[in-house]
Amino acid sequence: MSIQRRLARFNRVFANRVVGPALARLPGFGSLHHVGRVSGRSYRTPVKVFRQADTYVFSLPYGSDSDWVKNVLAAKGCVLVTGRRRIHLGDPQVYVAEEETAIPAPIRAILNRVKAHEYLALKPVKVPSSP
């Protein structure tokens, strides 16, 4: 198992559970609520959020084969909770970019250093109101 995969596993099993709830309340961070594509369980994944016009961009330092990314793609969306706001997101698109302009230069430099060039973009979607 590569170092990157081991770090991803450590974050999923330990760090996300301990630090995730507090991290999701900080500016620029959030919690993605998604449903397991096989289990149907609800999951929350802490993420760093970048905004570009009406698109929310997430860097994928562990790659697009991470379980949470696969879940979002399979469900064709998720809910982003940032601060006290809940934003329903859809139309997920994974793409590769050497220089993602939605991400500030210092963070972009770190991502380039670890060869993290994959991103997930989602757009807000209207949710039908209940009768």
Question: Does residue 130 sit within a domain?
Answer: no
Count of CB atoms situated within 10 Å of the CB of 41: 9
In a domain, 43, yes or no: yes
State the residue range of the domain holding 40.
Answer: 3-124
- pLDDT, position 1: 46
Q: What is the DSSP string of 57-118?
A: EEE-TT-TTSHHHHHHHHHTEEEEEETTEEEEEEEEEEEE-SS-TTS-HHHHHHHHHTT--E
Question: Partners of 93 in the beta sheet?
Answer: 121
Residue 16 belongs to a domain: yes
Question: Quick one: pLDDT at residue 87?
Answer: 94
Q: Is residue 45 part of a domain?
A: yes
| Residue 103 within a domain | yes
Using the Cα atoms of residue 90, residue 96, residue 97 and residue 103 in order, give the sign of their dihedral.
positive
pLDDT tens for the chain, residues 1 to 131: 445 555 555 555 555 555 555 566 667 888 899 999 999 999 888 888 999 899 999 988 888 988 999 999 999 999 999 888 899 999 999 999 877 778 888 888 888 887 888 999 999 998 876 56
Overall domain count for the chain: 1
CATH of the domain at 82: 2.30.110.10
Query: Per the domain annotation, does 28 fall within a domain?
Result: yes
User: How, if at all, do strands 29-35 and 118-124 pair?
Assistant: unpaired
Give bridge partners of residue 89 from the DSSP assignment.
Answer: 78, 124
